[in-house]
Structure 1
Amino acid sequence: MKAEILAIYTGLAEAWRLGFRNLIIESDSKSAVDLVNRGCSPSSKLAKSVKKARKYLRKEWQVNIVYIPGEYNGVADW
């Protein structure tokens, strides 16, 4: 799960760096999407990774992070 959260974080960071300001991130990890979108308890072992990703959600841009099952997303499944 940590790898999926860090993948979302990396995508957010790179998109911001490149100047994209309207973004949809698709992931086949429902748990990672839920944690990044909703946050988690500070005592969670994933809290640091989730916090890093969520800081990008507070920036001035339009971002949607959505769950797409792997069988419907050939790129993520590949």
Structure 2
Amino acid sequence: MIMVQLGCVFGSSQRDWIFGSSRSLGKCLILNAELWAIYDALRHAWRLGYRQIELESDNLEAVSGILNPRAKQQRNALFIVIKALLQRDWEVCIRHIRPIHNAVVDRVASLV
């Protein structure tokens, strides 16, 4: 386990800045930190009224676990609450991106 700060960034399809947040989780596994970031992003998007979003993560294990209904991680409570959020009446596209494309989020996370 390592000390973890997480961040999430909301932007328009034209890459305009909408919203960003960051917080410290203390010590936890990298996978759990990424799942918390995904959960926070989905929760914020829903509360802000967005009903069609694209969510990008540089953590392949998190993305695979969310998209694969038979993933072994399915007993993790974070996967369960994320999947519950995804069942709401909205369109959410989740995809894996390379870490190099996540520099803005990394910078926001470092602001904690």
State the TM bucket, normalised to the shorter chain. 0.7 to 0.9
Distance 1:2 1:73 in 2: 17
Query: In the alignment, what sits opposite 2:98?
Result: 69
Q: Counterpart of 1:73 in 2: which secondary structure?
A: helix
Q: TM-score under structure 1 normalisation?
A: 0.83
The structure with the greater share of residues assigned to helix is 1
Identity of aligned residues (%): 33
Query: In the alignment, what sits opposite 2:78?
Result: 49
Distance 1:43 1:70 in 2: 24
Query: In the alignment, what sits opposite 2:7?
Result: none
Equivalent residue in structure 2 for 1:28, among 44, 52, 58: 58
Measured after TM superposition, the shift of residue 73 of structure 1 is: 3.2
Q: TM-score under structure 2 normalisation?
A: 0.60
Pair 1:13-2:20 in alignment = no
What letter corresponds to residue 61 of structure 2 in structure 1? S
Structure 2 vs 1, CA of residues 21 and 29 (structure 1 numbering), >3 Å: closer, same or farther? same
